[in-house]
Amino acid sequence: QVQLVESGGGLVQAGGSLRLSCAAAGRTFSSYTMGWFRQAPGKEREFVAAISRSGLTPLYADSVKGRFSISRDNAKNTVYLQMNSLKPEDTAVYYCAGSKSFSTANYDYWGQGTQVTVSS
């Protein structure tokens, strides 16, 4: 089992940047694909980005390509989401998640979420 804790959310103006972190408890972090999802008020949760177990292969939703960057440090059991050129529509609760497969769905473990608010 993997326990995930996100941090780094906050309030930022449009065009600004934030870096989210997700720390994992457990010795098997490197065996999981890690992903980031978000859920805005009144909307369904959506995929944002994922990164392979090795950290070599990222995957992004079209809405964040070129603005967001996912990375991981397996020695620190941490995955990151660097968010640049933020837009008001990026406002959401952001969740990190772990999966045994490399995909945009079927994630088994979830964090509690961190709020990101982008003001116009």
pLDDT surpasses 90 at 1: no
pLDDT of residue 95: 98
Give the pLDDT confidence score for residue 27 in this predicted structure.
Answer: 74
Q: Which residues of 88-110 are buried (b: 16+ CB within 10 A; e: fewer)?
A: eebbbbbbbbbbeeeebeebebb
pLDDT at 99 over 90: yes
Question: What's the mean per-residue pLDDT of the chain?
Answer: 96
Q: What is the pLDDT of residues 55-79, one digit of tens each?
A: 999 999 999 999 999 999 999 999 9
pLDDT at 2: 84
